[in-house]
C-alpha cells in the first residue's frame, strides 16, 4: 500500500467519502486517525466540520456521472458510500462498470434495505428469525389483512401491530401501532403519501409486534468473510424517556452490557452467517457494511431490519473504538481478503450524544450561529472525545452555523459507559445555539436504567 516515489517518499492515497452527515465525518476522521499510509481525503458533498479534514466537493450524491468523473480524474484509490440512497440507486454498479474501486453493496444486495418485502421474504427463504408478516400490494389489501386478525391477539383490536412502507423512507415508514384502529390509520397515511415519499408505500407490510430489547450489530463483509463491530444501542425517539416522534437517532452507545457473548454467538449463528450465505447463494454476495437491527425477544433474537451501510449515529460511537487501519479494512473488502486481517477494537465503552435543531424532526431553522466549538477544537489532542458534525456550514466569518436537523454528535470513549457519558455531557455544556435540543438520558434504557449507568 502507498506506492514509493523516486525519492522514496510514500505517495498519499486518495479516498473519497460520499455523504454529508455525522456518519461520514466519523468515517473520514477514523480513516485519517488509523491509516498506516498517508491519505488525502475528499468528501462529496460534505459539511462544515468535514471541510476541516477533507476537501469537500460540491457534487450531489445522486449525480453518478460526476462522481465517477471526479474519482477518475482525481485518481481516487477508493470511494466509500455513506448513505443508502446511492447504494439503492446502483452507484456501486456504476463505479464497478467504470473500473473504479468502491466500498458498498451493489443494487441487488442493497435490496436488503431498499425493499422491506424483499428482506422479509429473503429471511423466510433462509430461515432467519424475524417477526411474522404479510406483504400487501394495496391499501385495501393491507386493511383486509389487519381485519383478518392474523396479527395482534385474535379478537382483540387493542393489541399492537406494526405497519411498514416497503421502500426507503428515512425512518418515517414504520408505525408501531397500539391498536388495530391506529394501524388502519397508518395504512391510510402511508398510502396517501402523507408519511413517506413517492412510491415507497406501493407495498405495505403488516408485521407481528415484537417485544424486547433492541440491539444493532454491524459488520464488515467482503462477500464471503466478515468482521464484527462492537454491538451498539441507539435512541430513536426525540424526547427523553423515549417520548415524541422517531428521528434518525438521538444518541448511541457501545458497552459490554449491550449484548452478552452467548447472545452474540447466537446472532452470528442464526442471523449473520445465514444472511451472508443466503446472499451469496442468491447471487448477490454482500460487500460493504451490514447493519442488522434486532429485537431480543423471549423466543430469541429476531431481525427487525437490515441496513446495508453504517448507521448514524451508531458509527460515531463505534469508530471511536477502532484500532485497526480503516483504509486497509476497506481495501480488503474490495479485494475479498478480509480474512487476512484482524480488526481490533479498544476495550472501552463509548457514547454519542446528538445535538439537534429546535423543532427537529419537524420543521426547524438553519443558519443559526453555534457557540463553543472553537474552544473544544483547540483541545482536540484529547483522543477520547470528538465532536462530529452532521448539519453544519461555515459562515463568511469562519464560525459554524447550523445547517440541518441533527447538527452535532458529541462522542467519547471511556473506561466505563458512565465515564464516556460524563465526558459527552460535560462537553455538551460548552456548546450552545438558539434552539439547541438534546436528550439528557442517552445510555439509560428503560428496562435497564440502573444497570447501565
Question: Which residues of this chain interact with ligand GLY, rule CB under 6 A?
Answer: 234, 248-249, 307, 311-312, 314
Q: Does 242 bind ligand AMP (CB under 6 A)?
A: no
Of the candidates 207, 224, 210, 233, the one whose C-alpha atom is nearest the C-alpha of residue 291 is: 233
Q: Could you give the string, one character per residue 136-175, with x where binding to ligand AMP holds by CB under 6 A and - elsewhere?
A: --------------------------x-x---------x-
Figure out which of the listed residues 214, 242, 270, 422 binds ligand AMP, where binding follows CB under 6 A. 214
**CB of 109 vs ligand GLY, minimal distance in Å:** 17
**Residue closer to ligand AMP (CB basis): 207 or 255:** 207
**CB 31 → ligand AMP: shortest distance, Å?**
28
Rg (CA), the chain: 22
- Using the rule CB under 6 A, is 333 a contact of ligand AMP? no
Site for ligand AMP in 377-436 (CB under 6 A): none
Residue 311 site contact among ligand AMP, ligand GLY, none (CB < 5 to 8 Å, cut-off depends on kind): ligand GLY
- C-beta of 209 vs 368, nearer to ligand AMP: 209
Residues 6+ apart with CB under 8 A from 273: none
The closest residue (CB) to ligand GLY is: 311
Minimum CB separation of residue 389 from ligand AMP in Å reads 25
Beta strands in 147-259 (DSSP E): 161-165, 174-177, 204-208, 213-222, 226-228, 232-239, 243-254
> Do the Cβ atoms of 291 and 306 come closer than 8 Å?
yes
The two beta strands, 133-136 and 400-402, are: unpaired
C-beta of residue 390 within 8 angstroms of C-beta of residue 404: yes
Question: Which of ligand GLY, ligand AMP, none does residue 174 bind to, with CB < 5 to 8 Å depending on kind?
Answer: ligand AMP
Residue 87 CB, nearest approach to ligand AMP (Å):
16
Beta bridge partners of 411: 352, 386
Q: Does 176 bind ligand AMP (CB under 6 A)?
A: yes
Longest dimension (CA), the chain: 79
Q: What share of the chain is helix, strand, coil (3-state, %, to 5)?
A: 30, 30, 40
Among 201, 219, 304, 385, binds ligand AMP (CB under 6 A): 304
Is 264 strand, coil or helix? helix
Nearer residue to ligand AMP within complex by CB, 167 or 278: 167
Residue in 279, 288, 293 with CA at minimum distance from that of residue 249: 293
Q: Is 305 in the site for ligand AMP (CB under 6 A)?
A: yes
Which one of ligand AMP, ligand GLY, none is in contact with 234 (Cβ closer than 5 to 8 A by kind)?
ligand GLY
**Closer by beta carbon to ligand AMP, 101 or else 164:** 164
Contact between residue 24 and residue 50 where contact means Cβ atoms under 8 Å apart: yes
Amino acid at each position: 500500500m502507498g506506492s514509493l516515489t523516486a525519492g522514496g517518499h510514500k505517495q498519499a492515497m486518495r479516498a473519497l467519502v460520499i455523504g454529508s452527515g455525522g456518519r461520514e465525518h466519523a468515517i473520514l476522521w477514523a480513516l485519517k486517525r488509523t491509516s498506516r499510509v498517508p491519505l488525502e481525503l475528499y468528501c462529496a458533498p460534505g459539511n462544515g466540520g468535514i471541510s476541516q479534514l477533507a476537501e469537500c466537493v460540491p457534487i450531489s450524491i445522486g449525480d453518478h456521472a460526476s462522481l465517477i468523473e471526479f474519482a477518475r480524474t482525481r485518481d481516487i484509490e477508493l470511494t466509500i458510500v455513506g448513505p443508502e440512497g446511492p447504494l439503492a440507486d446502483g452507484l456501486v454498479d456504476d463505479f464497478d462498470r467504470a473500473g473504479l474501486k468502491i466500498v458498498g453493496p451493489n443494487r441487488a444486495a442493497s435490496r436488503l434495505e431498499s425493499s422491506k418485502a424483499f428482506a422479509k421474504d429473503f429471511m423466510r427463504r433462509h430461515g432467519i428469525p424475524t417477526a411474522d408478516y404479510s406483504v400487501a400490494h394495496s391499501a385495501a389489501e393491507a386493511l383486509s389483512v389487519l381485519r383478518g386478525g392474523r396479527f395482534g391477539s385474535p379478537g382483540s383490536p387493542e393489541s399492537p401491530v406494526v405497519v411498514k412502507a416497503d421502500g426507503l423512507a428515512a425512518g418515517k415508514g414504520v408505525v408501531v401501532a397500539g391498536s388495530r384502529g391506529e394501524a388502519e390509520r397508518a395504512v391510510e397515511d402511508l398510502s396517501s403519501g402523507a408519511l413517506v415519499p413517492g412510491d415507497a408505500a406501493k407495498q405495505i407490510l403488516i408485521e407481528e409486534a415484537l417485544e424486547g430489547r433492541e440491539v444493532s450489530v454491524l459488520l464488515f463483509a467482503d462477500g464471503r468473510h466478515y468482521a464484527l463491530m462492537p454491538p451498539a444501542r441507539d435512541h430513536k425517539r426525540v424526547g427523553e424517556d423515549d417520548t415524541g416522534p422517531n428521528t434518525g437517532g438521538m444518541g448511541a452507545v457501545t458497552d459490554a452490557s449491550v449484548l452478552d457473548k452467548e447472545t452474540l454467538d447466537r446472532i452470528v449463528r442464526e442471523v449473520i452467517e445465514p444472511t451472508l450465505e443466503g446472499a451469496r447463494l442468491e447471487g448477490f454476495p454482500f460487500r460493504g457494511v451490514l447493519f442488522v437491527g434486532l429485537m431480543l425477544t423471549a423466543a430469541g433474537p429476531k431481525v427487525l431490519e437490515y441496513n446495508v451501510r453504517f448507521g448514524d449515529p451508531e458509527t460515531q460511537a463505534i469508530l471511536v473504538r477502532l484500532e485497526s487501519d480503516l483504509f486497509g479494512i476497506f481495501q480488503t473488502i474490495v479485494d475479498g481478503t478480509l480474512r487476512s486481517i484482524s480488526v481490533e477494537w479498544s476495550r472501552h465503552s463509548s457514547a454519542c450524544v446528538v445535538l439537534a435543531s429546535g423543532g427537529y424532526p419537524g420543521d426547524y431553522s438553519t443558519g443559526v450561529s453555534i457557540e463553543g466549538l472553537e474552544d473544544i477544537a483547540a483541545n482536540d489532542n484529547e483522543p477520547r472525545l470528538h465532536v462530529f458534525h452532521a448539519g453544519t456550514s461555515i459562515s463568511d466569518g469562519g464560525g459554524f452555523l447550523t445547517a440541518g436537523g441533527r447538527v452535532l454528535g458529541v462522542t467519547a470513549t471511556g473506561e466505563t459507559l458512565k465515564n464516556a457519558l460524563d465526558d459527552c455531557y460535560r462537553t455538551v455544556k460548552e456548546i450552545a445555539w438558539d434552539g439547541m435540543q438534546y436528550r439528557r438520558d442517552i445510555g439509560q434504557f428503560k428496562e435497564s436504567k440502573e444497570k447501565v449507568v
